[in-house]
Chain A
């Protein structure tokens, strides 16, 4: 039981405190050092064989400048870049903002809201492939559940979702939000729970209730977590393959692909692995600054991942 609380504590944001420091410092020597190195060998082996080497190999594959000239002259690539910007920009921000608001809803102490939370996190528990398969078949046209419901309830002929670029892109974004919003809601819920009750009491006396309490109390206190989570989510969404691949599958005619899916498509379907790697490497000018800012933020604020 105490173990359970300890794990939860370990997963919570750590506030202040330099943490643990060894009482006796000194450098390892002799057999101690040998053992320490021996303990690190398995991780180092995995790290170099399956992370460093593939990364280096990837740079080597994408080293030709002509690949990037080829990419820029390919209209599908330009479409893909626009899609990626829209997809990441909309999906991440809408998801994070709704998650932040909903985490406030789930702090309410009602039995049915607690029960609802258990159902609400089901999308997070469901593996990605079945979830996005279901979205694909829910939207696949007149036979899909969404259009059937529209027909049954409102007698509207629903659109053929994957025949229109913007509807298909929107479907991808909705499916993505559906899958990942519960996870971030739970993160923000933990963040809200860590805010001491008396801060709200003090704010209450000063008249900061409701929306004003959110703007002047909750949001400033959660701003750091919100920023770190948004950065992390942007990076991961940039590399998100499964949702676009399964929901719209790039339909219609590869007009809703994002960088992650078009890279794999170039490599596997069109047998141009160099071009695929180049497409993904072209995200580096955005990715590297994001990673640097994120690493600094994480170290500076001790927000726990």
Chain B
């Protein structure tokens, strides 16, 4: 009776209202699907990391039966032989990330100042060279890079990794800084020039301060790239003191009896700093700017 009544009422609804309800229902369904899709692998990391037993008997749970932060404590205190160099490796990741950030900002801003602000001939060619290195897949270069770095006497050296990350981050930094510099009127440089400023003074007193937001964005990009990159760190560094966290995670993958809960706790602790930076600067950095992370 009531079913028939409500059907009758639905039939008398205007068509646009029916359509609106249907659209709304469809977008709620889609929203739920996207929520599960986005969070499932992240939930899986927590599920494994919160299991205090770990080892291999992890079987068939979809909810942690006895959640505990024990595995995070073990990682923090380097309490397992897989983790004996954890803080060392964390420091290495940080060292590589920070130096890549500083060097990318320095090298990129100097080059972009020379290309964009000084009337250099063939500046277009330099930008194209940067664009070309930016689009090349980095993994194709890893093996020859290893050979070249050995010939420089940098085998198993964090500086080899830093060189690789700077090489991959700088072209993108130059492209972005070129874009950003267009917002600063060239007349400013000219006025300073008339007053007798040298190119170095222009760079230090005008270019750097006005470009600060762009430089910050480019530096963040370089930091996240170097922190998250895996292949070059894997190829260039040997076990285990010199490893970065990204490479240390892989040793768990290789072995069947590795403690999975420690692995996931390590993975979460490794992922948290970049996630925090990413969300803190999400609005500031803007849409296209994180593009280079695709290279991963």
Contacts and interface: CB of A to CB of B under 8 A. Distances in A.
Given A23-B186, A305-B288, A263 B214 contact: no
Contacts of B296: 128, 179, 240, 242
A301 to B, nearest CB: 14
Contacts of B172: 305
Contacts of A37: 114
A171 to B, nearest CB: 12
A230 B138 CA distance: 18
Interface string B244-269: 00100110110000001001100110
B31 to A, nearest CB: 5
Contact of A238 (B38, B137, B235): B137
A305 B291 contact: yes
Given A27-B121, A127-B271, A57 B170 contact: no
Nearest to B108: A43
Interface stretch (A65-73, A198-206, A272-280): A272-280
Nearest to A58: B144
B203 A8 contact: no
Nearest to B60: A148
Contact of A4 (B43, B45, B146, B213): B213
B25 interface: no
Interface in B266-280: 267-268, 270-271, 274-275, 278-279
A61 B42 contact: no
B118 A263 contact: no
Contacts of A125: 274-275, 278-279
Contact of A3 (B45, B59, B213): B213
A148 B58 CA distance: 11
B180 A241 contact: no
A211 to B, nearest CB: 12
Given A12-B287, A51-B133, A120-B34, A39 B199 contact: yes
Contacts of B135: 232, 235, 291, 294-295
A249 interface: yes
B7 to A, nearest CB: 26
A129 B267 contact: yes
A145 B294 contact: no
Contacts of B288: 11-12, 187, 190, 304-305
Contacts of A123: 38, 41
Interface residues of A, number: 111
Contacts of A3: 212-213
Q: How many residues of B sit at the interface, in one of the four size bands? A: 35 or more
Interface in A171-191: 178-180, 182-183, 186-187, 189-190
B213 A6 contact: yes
A67 to B, nearest CB: 13
Interface string A8-41: 1111101000011011111110011001110110
A260 B45 CA distance: 27
A138 B289 contact: no
Contacts of B108: 43
B138 to A, nearest CB: 6
Contact of B118 (A32, A57, A180, A291): A32
A126 interface: yes
Contacts of B136: 235, 239, 291
Interface stretch (A75-83, A108-116, A159-167, A212-220): A108-116
A130 B199 contact: no
A292 to B, nearest CB: 10
A260 B110 contact: no
Interface stretch (B66-74, B83-91, B225-233): B225-233
Nearest to B134: A305
Interface in A264-305: 264, 267-268, 273, 276-277, 280-281, 283, 287, 291, 294-295, 298, 304-305
A37 B115 CA distance: 10
A231 to B, nearest CB: 9
A144 B126 CA distance: 50
A178 B231 contact: no
A87 interface: no
Select the residue from B35, B200, B282, B293 with max chain A CB neighbours within 10 A: B293
Given A10-B286, A39-B114, A127-B271, A22 B214 contact: no
B119 A28 contact: yes
Nearest to B46: A134
Given A129-B246, A179-B296, A280-B140, 9 more contacts: A36-B199, A42-B106, A105-B27, A124-B290, A127-B274, A130-B249, A142-B59, A187-B291, A298-B131
17 contacts: A36-B114, A46-B170, A49-B148, A121-B282, A122-B42, A123-B41, A127-B227, A127-B228, A129-B267, A137-B48, A138-B40, A142-B60, A143-B59, A263-B140, A264-B235, A294-B135, A305-B172
A-B interface, 10 closest residue pairs, ranked by CB to CB distance from nearest: A239-B137, A58-B144, A11-B288, A3-B213, A127-B228, A43-B111, A130-B267, A39-B114, A8-B286, A11-B286
Interface of A: 3-4, 6-12, 14, 19-20, 22-28, 31-32, 35-37, 39-40, 42-43, 46-47, 49-51, 53-55, 57-58, 61, 102, 105, 108, 110, 112-113, 116, 118-131, 133-138, 142-143, 145, 148-149, 151-152, 178-180, 182-183, 186-187, 189-190, 232-233, 235-236, 238-242, 246, 249, 260, 263-264, 267-268, 273, 276-277, 280-281, 283, 287, 291, 294-295, 298, 304-305
